[in-house]
Amino acid sequence: MNLMLLNSDSIENNVAKISGRQFDHLTQVQRLTEGDFLNLGEINGTMGRGKINTLTDEHATISLELGAQPPKPLPITVILALPRPKMLRRVLQTIAAMGVKNVYLINSSRVEKSFWQSPFLQPEAIEEQLILGLEQAKDTILPSVHLRRLFKPFVEDELTDIVGGSTAIIAHPGAKKPCPINLNSQVTLAIGPEGGFIPYEVTKLSAIGFDPMHLGPRILRVETAVPALLSRLFPV
């Protein structure tokens, strides 16, 4: 954790009161004590630092000095075939850490049905992973994660508007074109499941303007492909 993220309802008059995981991190990992400073941010707000006023066995009060803007988001919407639950958690952290703010988790022929039953898809479970990613990267703006359990109506009824005027890319091993670098445009990036989108799905996505592109001859796992793609697509 490089930045502790606070809920706005834990803040009153520029003083935060924390407990639970964050309190444990403060006292047991960072080993801070009264008078110490730490990096803090408010979820969907500004960031800065705080000074520990009081520390008990279960909670801490912290005076806040916020006001710095979080880093700029990446101009991208990620359309991701739902990964297996364990991988989903890491991918959500990565996506949040790298600055993605719009994510659609969608169904695809090669997504196992059981993945949709995972407790990690509960809103609180998703938010927990996103916050871990933001706290790692030093960002405050929570990404929006949308679940779409039906591929066809999502693509036919919704995706055209999501794409808008953006550059629409399918990350697709074996495609003819290489993934572009350092784009200045808005991007919509579709990433298939392990094994890839099936030809029908590629055809449906291509019909609304998506272009299949590859990352080289190697087949990467989703959790590796996501940072590799995001890192190539935009300038740093």
- Residues in contact with its own copies by CB under 8 A are 2, 71-72, 93-94, 97-99, 136-139, 178-179, 181-182, 214-221, 224-225, 227-232, 235-236
Buried b (16+ CB within 10 A) or exposed e, 190-207: bbbbeebbeeebbebbee
| Residue closer to its own copies (CB basis): 55 or 215 | 215
Q: Which of 191, 204, 220 is nearest to 159 (CA)?
A: 204
What's the rounded Cα separation, in Å, for the pair 190 and 236?
21
Q: Which of 126, 130, 116, 189 is nearest to 159 (CA)?
A: 189
Q: What is the DSSP string of 155-208?
A: IIIIIHHHHTTSEEEEE-TT-SEEPP-S--S-EEEEE--TT---HHHHHHHHHT
CB within 8 A of 215, min separation 6: which ones? 171, 173, 178, 179, 225, 228, 229, 232
Smallest distance from the beta carbon of 150 to its own copies, in angstroms?
Answer: 27
Smallest distance from the beta carbon of 39 to its own copies, in angstroms?
Answer: 11
| Residue closer to its own copies (CB basis): 21 or 86 | 86
| Residue closer to its own copies (CB basis): 110 or 138 | 138
Smallest distance from the beta carbon of 94 to its own copies, in angstroms?
Answer: 5
| Residue closer to its own copies (CB basis): 56 or 182 | 182
Smallest distance from the beta carbon of 197 to its own copies, in angstroms?
Answer: 16
In the block, residue with structure tokens 């834990």: 10
| Residue closer to its own copies (CB basis): 208 or 228 | 228
Smallest distance from the beta carbon of 44 to its own copies, in angstroms?
Answer: 17
Smallest distance from the beta carbon of 228 to its own copies, in angstroms?
Answer: 4
| Residue closer to its own copies (CB basis): 41 or 55 | 41
